[in-house]
Structure 1
């Protein structure tokens, strides 16, 4: 019974590719976001507004939200499977589908592609502002394209490979646990005045959970670049050289592969909340970043996603063999 989650994972993967994330349907990540907002408000009231108080408040929130998310999803699935096997499989399939974000990432980034292709820089800035955390109102065409490519590259790990690996190990509940940590980091894991201390625990926990998946993602992306006829040698070379050119120990892993595969330069200084943050660059930049690179980054995303599904199924086969041996 414990290995049944590989069926929902596989079906959920293809459901995500087919229908993505329709905005008119309720989504658990939006509920997580609301819970984080309410939890932050409560924690700030319960703990003193000091460095130690904010660190403690953020840690409590960073522990409670993922645990509650995993426990609730796990409880629902446990009850469903006890009632009826098919009901359990159906609910877990829907959960796995909702955890993944392959098609939605492509769809949102391709909106930026479409605006740049039309020559509408203002529209492209607006569309890219929906998928990045940086200030976008003064970006030029190349900077907008670069921001979109970086988002696709980074989220190839965060939104695809990492949740799939967690679901392969522990089903939808562990996938939701990971998704809650990732959502916390995206909402409170900033190094600005408001979240420098409050968001530190969530940011560090996200770094820990993504440490192995980010590196698996990068290696799968190198393989995908080879299968897609891209510069896989350049991808591996830039990965080896620039994979730590980021404040996060994980974000540059896939960005470096993407930059090398496409022959472009990513990262560099960026504005956040009206403040310029100096950043190292990633890649050699043999040519300027263009809107066509957004489409190429999405090809890498899809290729990596399918390779990851294969890895997950191999994990499942190994687990079955181990259990048969124990039995």
Structure 2
């Protein structure tokens, strides 16, 4: 019970650090290290000239190695608790902090809006920092919708999912983050990454199945008094499986419904048009308020999850 008490404190400190500090560009961040490791692994794998199924197996080997590595660093928190409670508190708080991306997601979305206020070109350039699609020909409305989609999808990937996994079992937070980072770098269905990132993408889909659905539920619950809530629920149930990904539309659908806009549609990736289905039946004109609404929806979902975690932990501690 003492362990749970310290862990709850660490979770709350970590969340607070993320909300206050975000991810400073000049500060050491484990996710940057993860990215460097993944890039190094790709260079090694490419040197083998592997193709087809063998390339898939090498990609799987990299995924399993990275999961093991992340688990070891996550498990260090449990070891530290047995050595020194304060070291555990510092280490676990930092782990929670680096696994979350609420403040940085807020910052990046806000910067897209501010740059768009200056010019269309600056808005396109800033958006390119946070999306994989080609932004060079996007209109103002398309930029705003892309930003909304990014915040919605990353409400699960960057906020809700890592916190859920940490709350369940501390090492799983870093494991999830490594898997998610691999998917963001290798999870493209194209000639370069279709085989290499096959298992990274599949495992990422798997670990996001529950968090994506819970995130959607949190968004709908925390907007229960929104005037568009019934339409949002209808949109969610109609379009939640609209994407090829089993998870992405679960976050975009409720937001599309709450804002009464249409998300998705064809996007250009690596000079090729990728057809994606539209999400939503009504397509009212979107403005920057839609971006800020989505940011608020993310924070409200996070707040409700924290309340649930605190309630569950306190019940276990006081039992």
Same fold (TM over 0.5): yes
* Aligned pair partner of 1:206 in 201, 204, 207: 204
Q: Tell me if structure 2 keeps the 8 A contact 1:268–1:280.
A: yes
What is the alpha-carbon distance in structure 1 between the residues aligned to residue 227 and residue 156 of structure 2? 19
Alignment pair present for 1:197 and 2:198: no
What is the alpha-carbon distance in structure 1 between the residues aligned to residue 128 and residue 312 of structure 2? 37
User: What residue in structure 2 maps to residue 91 of structure 1?
Assistant: 91
What is the alpha-carbon distance in structure 1 between the residues aligned to residue 317 and residue 232 of structure 2? 34
Q: Tell me if structure 2 keeps the 8 A contact 1:189–1:202.
A: yes
The alignment's TM-score, normalised by the length of structure 2, stands at: 0.95
User: What residue in structure 2 maps to residue 133 of structure 1?
Assistant: 132
User: What residue in structure 1 maps to residue 36 of structure 2?
Assistant: 34
Q: Tell me if structure 1 keeps the 8 A contact 2:148–2:290.
A: yes
Give structure 1 regions of 4+ aligned residues with deviation exceeding 6 angstroms.
none
Bigger Cα displacement from structure 2, 192-201 vs 36-45 = 36-45
Q: For structure 2, which runs of at least 5 residues remain unmatched after alignment?
A: none
What is the alpha-carbon distance in structure 1 between the residues aligned to residue 121 and residue 44 of structure 2? 38
The alignment's TM-score, normalised by the length of structure 1, stands at: 0.93
User: What residue in structure 2 maps to residue 12 of structure 1?
Assistant: 14
- Structure 1 residue 174: Cα displacement: 1.1
Q: Tell me if structure 2 keeps the 8 A contact 1:112–1:124.
A: yes
What is the alpha-carbon distance in structure 1 between the residues aligned to residue 167 and residue 231 of structure 2? 31
Q: Tell me if structure 2 keeps the 8 A contact 1:129–1:135.
A: yes
Q: Tell me if structure 1 keeps the 8 A contact 2:252–2:279.
A: yes
What is the alpha-carbon distance in structure 1 between the residues aligned to residue 113 and residue 51 of structure 2? 44
Q: Tell me if structure 2 keeps the 8 A contact 1:113–1:295.
A: no
Root-mean-square deviation over aligned CA pairs: 1.5
Q: Tell me if structure 2 keeps the 8 A contact 1:225–1:235.
A: no
What is the alpha-carbon distance in structure 1 between the residues aligned to residue 200 and residue 55 of structure 2? 12
What is the alpha-carbon distance in structure 2 between the residues aligned to residue 317 and residue 230 of structure 1? 34
- Structure 1 residue 45: Cα displacement: 3.5
What is the alpha-carbon distance in structure 1 between the residues aligned to residue 244 and residue 315 of structure 2? 36
Q: Tell me if structure 2 keeps the 8 A contact 1:43–1:61.
A: no
Q: Tell me if structure 2 keeps the 8 A contact 1:242–1:282.
A: yes
- Structure 1 residue 320: Cα displacement: 4.0
